[in-house]
Amino acid sequence: MTQKEQQPNQDQSDSQGKKPSQDAVQEAAKDETKSPKDFPVVGLGASAGGLEALKTFFSQAPRKTGMAYIVMMHLAPNQPSMLPELLQKVTDVPVAMAEDGQTLRPDQIYVIPPKREVSVYNGIIQLLVPVDKDHSLPIDFFFRSLAADRASKAAAVILSGTGTDGTVGLREIKNYEGLVLVQDPETAKYDGMPRSAMGTGLVDMALALEKMVQKIADYFQQPVQAKIKVPEIAENKDWLP
């Protein structure tokens, strides 16, 4: 369980990566008129070995895909995170530490700060303080929230890490008809989390990191296929010819 963050937001001066260009700022302003539900959100879960995996993943990310990215990584609780700066060095997509109450925008990368869990409600980031820090599974919690908020426009990506965090949450992503990918366990520094996810039988693809972003973008650019529900035949068949 978690409780709503009461503390003020962390100082952005030591949490953001390089400053976005003027064009990026103008593009973000245009997106202000866009409904928070209009674009896909990619949630990434990582733990041990996750830094290199994230850098490789985002090094292949085009500047504009129409998707937002949220990074939930197990981080040392007592150290300031340099993750936004490290990721900004490998990508042109703007990277920043997520803030409580922030509205998601496409073509942005949001990094969740240490000692926080995250939920997404109506396209708004909510940073939460874990109640049970010793048994917290922040990736599971995040994926469940993302599934409820984005439904079929949610993608869950599980990268290198030990343990099983993310395995339970991905079930909700699939329940809402979202997309689930894992890093190919053969390429993961620690394969516990990817293999645990694959054990559910619900993973859509296990891919090399270099192929992931384009595969996700292609998936969400496909036209939505109409789903035809076959009605159940009523027990009273008197109406049949």
At residue 57, φ and ψ (nearest 5 deg) are -55, -55
Tell me the mean pLDDT in the region 170-188.
97
101, 6 Cβ separation under 8 angstroms: no
Show Cβ contacts of residue 108 under 8 Å, excluding neighbours closer than 6 positions: 28, 68, 69, 93, 94, 95, 96
Q: What is the pLDDT of residue 224?
A: 58
| Mean pLDDT value of segment 150-176 | 97
Label the pairing between strands 179-183 and 154-158.
Answer: parallel
Q: What is the pTM of this model?
A: 0.79
Question: Does the pLDDT of residue 150 top 70, yes or no?
Answer: yes
pLDDT band of residue 23 (cuts 50, 70, 90) is low
Q: Is 7 a member of any domain?
A: no
In a domain, 8, yes or no: no
Task: Tell whether the model's pLDDT for residue 149 goes beyond 80.
Answer: yes
- For position 222, what pLDDT does the model report? 85
Would residue 23 count as lying in a domain? no
Residue span of the structural domain in which 130 resides: 36-221
Is it the case that residue 14 has pLDDT exceeding 50?
Answer: no
pLDDT at residue number 58: 98
Digit-coded pLDDT (tens) for 60-93: 999 999 999 999 999 877 777 899 999 999 999 9
Residue 1, domain member (yes or no): no
Average the pLDDT over 164-170 and give the result: 97
> Environment class of residue 205 by beta-carbon count within 10 Å: exposed (0-12), middle (13-18) or buried (19+)?
middle
CATH code for the domain of 192: 3.40.50.180
- Average pLDDT (156-167) is 98
Residue 231 lies in a domain: no
Instruction: Give the range among 37-41, 186-190, 204-208 with minimum mean pLDDT.
Output: 37-41
Gyration radius from the chain CA atoms: 19
Checking if the pLDDT of 57 tops 70, the result is yes
* Mean pLDDT across the chain: 83
Asked if residue 107 is part of any domain, the answer here is yes
**The predicted structure's pLDDT at residue 133:** 65
Gap between the Cα atoms of 170 and 200, Å rounded: 9
Instruction: pLDDT band for 223, please (50, 70, 90 cuts).
Output: confident
Position 12 confidence tier, pLDDT thresholds 50, 70, 90: very low
Q: Crossing angle of helices 209-221/50-59, nearest 10°?
A: 50
Whether 17 has a pLDDT exceeding 90, the answer reads no
pLDDT for 100-135, tens place per residue?
999 999 999 999 999 899 999 999 999 999 887 666
Q: What is the mean pLDDT of residues 165-194?
A: 97
For the chain, the domain total comes to 1
**24-50: per-residue pLDDT in tens?**
444 544 444 444 468 999 999 999 999
Distance between alpha carbon 146 and the CA centroid of its chain, in Å?
Answer: 7
Residue 159 within any structural domain of the chain: yes
Q: What pLDDT is attached to residue 233?
A: 32
User: How far is it, in rounded angstroms, from Cα 218 to Cα 62?
Assistant: 12
Determine the straight-line distance between the first and last CA of the chain, rounded to whole angstroms.
56
Residue recorded with tokens 């969400």:
220
| H or E element in which residue 138 lies | helix 138-150
In a domain, 202, yes or no: yes
